[in-house]
Structures are given as structure tokens and as C-alpha cells.
Amino acid sequence: MPSLPKPVRRPWQPAPAKRVYEQHTARSPEYGTARWQRARAAHLATCPCCVECTKQGRTTPATVVDHITPVRLGGAFYDSSNYQSLCRPCHQAKSASERLKTPKGVGGQNP
Ligand SMILES: [Zn+2]
């Protein structure tokens, strides 16, 4: 049976964009661990609604457990008091605003 040719990576073309999960696991391999999956599931079971939507008077199911203080800015990864439930649009908006912040001690470098 003939097989499809492998996609050719041309150096002059930009690399394909990584998915959000891959970006997270690239930054912190902890996101791929069973411990994180358990902590995430436990938090979503306790707080099933998006906290940002709730502040605006909407009831939206949360799908993302967000670190209130980002890990790259010194937030504790497994501290449940640093977790908040968010829906994907709210998490993307928060992440976008956090990209503008500078990590401590890194002298203005943003990922
Ligand atoms: Zn939301």
C-alpha cells in the first residue's frame, strides 16, 4: 500500500503554531503529569463555574484551571489557593494580558 509523503519542513517557512496544551507543556512539563490532572479535576469539581463570568453576572461552565499568579511569575504550581476556574475565552483573555507582564528577575524578556 502506498503511503503519503511526509510533510517537508522548509527552513524558510515559519514553524506551525503550537496548540495551547503544547505551549503549556513546553513551558512546564508539570501540565502533563497525573498529579496535575488530579488537581485540575478536583478543582473543577469544587468550582465548576468560570469566576470571571460569574463576576459579570453570567453562569458559564469552567473548562480551565488557571494559576491566579502565573507560575512563570512565581506562583506555586500545586497550591490550590492559587487556582481559579475559568472558561476558555476568559483564560485566553487573562493569558494575553499576562504576556505583557515581565517575569521577576528576567530583565524585560517575554516568551
Ligand atoms: Zn468566563
For 10-53, the pLDDT digits (tens) are 778 777 666 655 666 566 788 889 999 999 999 999 999 999 99
CA distances in angstroms from 51 to 44, 64, 90, 105, listed in the order given: 11, 11, 9, 30
* Ligand 1: centre distance to CA 43 (Å): 16
Residue 91, judged by CB atoms within 10 A of its CB (0-12, 13-18, 19+), counts as buried
Residue with cell 528577575: 105
**pLDDT, tens only, 43-91:** 999 999 999 999 999 999 999 999 999 988 889 999 999 999 999 999 9
* Ligand 1: centre distance to CA 22 (Å): 22
